[in-house]
Homo-oligomer: A and B are copies of this chain.
Amino acid sequence: MLQWLRQYRRGALPGDISAGIVVAMMMIPQGMAYALVAGLPPVAGIYASIFPPLLYALFGTSSTQSVGPMAIISLMTASSLAPLAAPGSALYGVLAAQLALLSGVVLLACGSLRIGFVANFFSRPVMSGFTIGSALVIAWGQIRTLLGGSASEPHWPSAALGVASLLLLFGARDYLAALLRACGVKPGAADIGAKLAPMFVVLGATALVPLLGLHDLGVATTGAVPAGLPGLNLAVCTGHWQRLWQPALLIGFMVFLISMSGAQALALKRGGEKLRSNRELVGLGAANIGSALSGGFPVTGSISRSAVNFAAGANTQLASILTAGLLALALVAPTGWLALLPLPTLAATIIVAVLGMLDLSTLRTAWRYDRADAAALLATAGGVLALGVEAGVVVGVALSMGALIWRASRPHIAVLGRIHGTEHFRNIDRYAAETTPALLMMRVDAGLFFGNVEAVNGRIDDELAEHPAARHLVLVLSAVNAIDTSALFALVELNASLRQRGILLHLAEVKGPVMDRLKESDLLHALSGQLFLSAAMAWDRLAGTATGRPSQHA
């Protein structure tokens, strides 16, 4: 904990300071926008950006992760709370904090149980599909705010401001960096400058509100923001625990997945930074509990913000601590201007941000490389769009798990023959290897466990049907690192059923650790055949019992 602080090098300070300032400027409009997505007053987004990064800095392991509000998690929050309370109501705010608390507890529990490996539950195409679907849902949800009304009946002043903001932001995203470079700004600084465009567009739009009297024209603004830091307290609604657990489970899961994938991408860029998934779970859990205690809502590590943090020079979590400090200062300073922030402009920043998450390159690659993965991506995106974001998570997990089961249930199994004149045994499909009718030798290239016992049994049946003269089946276990209880039972039953059919079962090349475990079972006593140290020894002993002579195969 805080290892980075004890090892802090002075040289890291300038980068941390500049990153802290840049991310704070990015965080103000972003936090407020994502609070809106979550159905909360914008100031909650600032609250959720102060304590969470401090707690993550204490417990997390990524040095440049920026923890706070994030679009998809905000969408999941809104979708979880919609059936329970009206957005904007006091109950809604209480439930949002309670959801963050429960998500934090889920994350802490998973960290304590050391089940960080569940991050492997989502394949990359499924994650991409989930992100695309969520981005479209979020963007769609902001259209009304952007236009101040429906598409057919917009509120024209709002729509004008919103669309102008949108065009400015798109322009800044695509051209500002090049423009700044052309003006002589260094490439890195130019890129970061472009990332701050939302802050300046928001400031500009806010300035326009009193100048043009937009408020009187009916343009919605954020309204009065309470000055001062959030109080630390926890109001919970005890009647709703039951109905919040399931959303909290899904949100906790996605918080972890989203944060880890971002942190991993950054760690790869830094080269050699070591993330520990169980520590990450604890860090994110603490961050969410911190958010709950300070009037926030569920938070996670944001990929895009963390990338800016890194690009702006962040070396350690000190950058995030500075960001949090600056946001706290912004709340202590006069906050009157925040009340004038026009919502159509905020909606425009949301739309531009989430459309930036529409990464179609994964789809393109998957389509070309593996059509099944592309189908999983599209199905997950479709699931989010058609059934909602929670169902989308479930669809994604189901598809990933289905793929995993499908893969695990098809182990590679080779029938072995002897390379003539050697002690080497190879797959007869790939090598000209000799076999003998009474002896069938098979090698399974995977650990034996519940997921593949049926496939192994089925293949053995098939091979025995093709080798009716076989009297000995030798399973060569050179690639088997483990045999679980299900597979143990399957071997015992295979042994018994083969014995009934007059076929002896032998095992060869059993690895040391596997043999140690098998000694704790009844298999070795019951085994109709023998144990051989090597496939060659089995051949020498059993090929001679054949009536026919070795025949050349393939």
Contact = CB atoms under 8 A, between A and B. Distances in A.
Interface of A: 115, 117-125, 264-265, 268-269, 271-272, 274, 277, 362, 365-366, 368-370, 373-374, 400-409, 412, 445-447, 449-452, 454, 457, 461, 464-465, 479, 481-482, 484-486, 488-489, 493-494, 497, 500-501, 517, 520-522
A407 B464 CA distance: 30
28 contacts: A115-B402, A117-B409, A118-B405, A119-B454, A120-B408, A120-B409, A120-B452, A122-B450, A123-B449, A123-B450, A123-B484, A123-B485, A125-B485, A268-B493, A271-B500, A272-B464, A277-B454, A366-B485, A368-B520, A369-B517, A369-B521, A374-B485, A400-B450, A401-B404, A404-B449, A407-B449, A445-B445, A479-B479
Nearest to A272: B461
Given A271-B497, A272-B465, A479-B445, A486 B405 contact: no
Contacts of A265: 493
Contact of A454 (B120, B370, B412, B517): B120
Given A119-B454, A272-B461, A451-B120, A365 B408 contact: no
Contacts of A123: 449-450, 484-486
Contacts of A464: 272
Given A124-B485, A401-B404, 13 more contacts: A117-B406, A119-B454, A120-B451, A122-B450, A123-B449, A124-B450, A125-B486, A265-B493, A271-B497, A362-B485, A369-B517, A408-B408, A445-B481
A401 B121 CA distance: 9
A488 B118 CA distance: 20
Contacts of A482: 407
A406 B113 CA distance: 13
A488 B447 CA distance: 24
A521 B365 contact: yes
A271 B120 contact: no
Given A479-B445, A489-B365, A405 B404 contact: yes
A277 B455 CA distance: 11
Contacts of A117: 405-406, 409
A222 to B, nearest CB: 39
B406 A497 contact: no
Contacts of A370: 484-485, 488, 517
A368 B362 CA distance: 46
Nearest to A115: B402
A268 B451 CA distance: 18
A405 B120 contact: yes
Nearest to A122: B450
A464 B271 CA distance: 11
A408 B402 contact: no
Contact of A271 (B121, B368, B404, B501): B501
B124 A274 contact: no
